[in-house]
Amino acid sequence: MLTPHIVVVDDDDAIRELVVAVVQETIPSAEVSAHTSAIYALQEISTGTIDLLITNCHMPDMDGPTLIRTLREEKNKVRIIMVSGSDEARELAEEVGVDAFVPKYALREALMEAIRSLVAA
């Protein structure tokens, strides 16, 4: 995989920008698409091929678990990392079958490790 395509979705501008920066630091060759809305991310994912989705859990238009359920119902096998600061989000992530959960308090290092393991896999 020479140029992985990674989609980032988070309604919080600061977190989204940080996640994008971590992705670019971890895999400089990655093509990164960033969205404030899960609905827009879903549209992009539905029209193309992506290698990794990094999503927040709680968002106003469509939450992360609903986005993930929708993708799985469409038989989309994209690898998914959920990023959130709540314990409830970790439980939701496990229920919907994400590949990795990254708590916001350990964002940088944990996200780098999750990206490396999922994109290289």
Find the CATH number of the domain harbouring 116. 3.40.50.2300
pLDDT recorded at residue 1: 52
How far apart CA 83 and CA 74 sit, in angstroms, is 22
Between CA 94 and CA 50 the distance in angstroms is 22
Q: Which domain holds residue 115?
A: 5-120
Q: Among all chains, which residue has been given the structure tokens 């960033």?
A: 34
> What is the number of domains present in the chain?
1
Q: What is residue 46's predicted lDDT score, i.e. its pLDDT?
A: 87
Round to whole Å and give the CA distance between 63 and 52: 17
Compute the distance between CA of residue 5 and CA of residue 49 in angstroms, rounded to an integer: 8
**What pTM does this model have?**
0.93
Name, in order, each residue with C-beta under 8 angstroms of 43's C-beta and a sequence gap of 6 or more. none
The Cα 78–Cα 100 span in angstroms is 12
Q: Which portions of the chain are predicted below pLDDT 70?
A: 1, 121
A 10 A CB-CB count for 118 gives 20
